[in-house]
């Protein structure tokens, strides 16, 4: 019984690390966007760096996703703890599935944004 509780705690701590990692990635995106927007345009004479707030939105969304991951992981930890106490634990992948879908969608948004930033004329001409 003690091994199951320790395993539950290790899983919870892994989810916490995952949430923090997602939040750090979002923070880096926001900070990099603000840094690039503050650089003088003389550094980027021939480039077309977008000056919109989409990267800030993406970064904030990732920070929010990380925070929600931490909150949901705590709820899942408490639920599993109660079920282990009663001997009624059944394995579930709901949290994993939801997080995977959200991160995948955020990745598609980031990839689309990067492609549009690198080749802005391609999507307008087609």
Residues 21, 31: Cα–Cα separation, whole Å:
15
Spatial contact of 20 and 70, defined as CB atoms under 8 Å apart: yes
Phi, psi (5° rounding) for residue 33? -60, -45
Pick from 49-53, 68-72, 85-89, 108-112: least confident: 49-53
Locate 108 and state its tokens: 């598609």
Residues 96, 90: Cα–Cα separation, whole Å:
15
The answer to whether the pTM exceeds 0.75 is no
What ranges do the domains of the chain cover? 2-38+51-125
Locate 87 and state its tokens: 């001997």
Bigger pLDDT: 40 vs 11:
11
- pLDDT value of residue 92: 82
């Amino acid at each position: 019984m003690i091994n199951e509780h320790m395993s539950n705690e290790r899983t919870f701590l892994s989810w916490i690390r995952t949430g923090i990692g997602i939040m750090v990635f979002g923070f880096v995106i926001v900070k990099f966007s603000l840094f690039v927007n503050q650089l003088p345009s003389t550094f980027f004479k021939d480039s077309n760096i977008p000056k919109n707030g989409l990267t800030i939105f993406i970064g904030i969304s990732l920070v929010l996703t990380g925070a929600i991951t931490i909150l949901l992981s705590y709820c899942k930890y408490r639920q599993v703890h109660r079920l282990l106490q009663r001997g009624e634990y059944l394995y579930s992948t709901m949290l994993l599935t939801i997080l995977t879908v959200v991160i995948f969608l955020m990745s598609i948004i980031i990839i689309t944004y990067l492609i549009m930033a690198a080749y802005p004329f391609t999507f307008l001409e087609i």
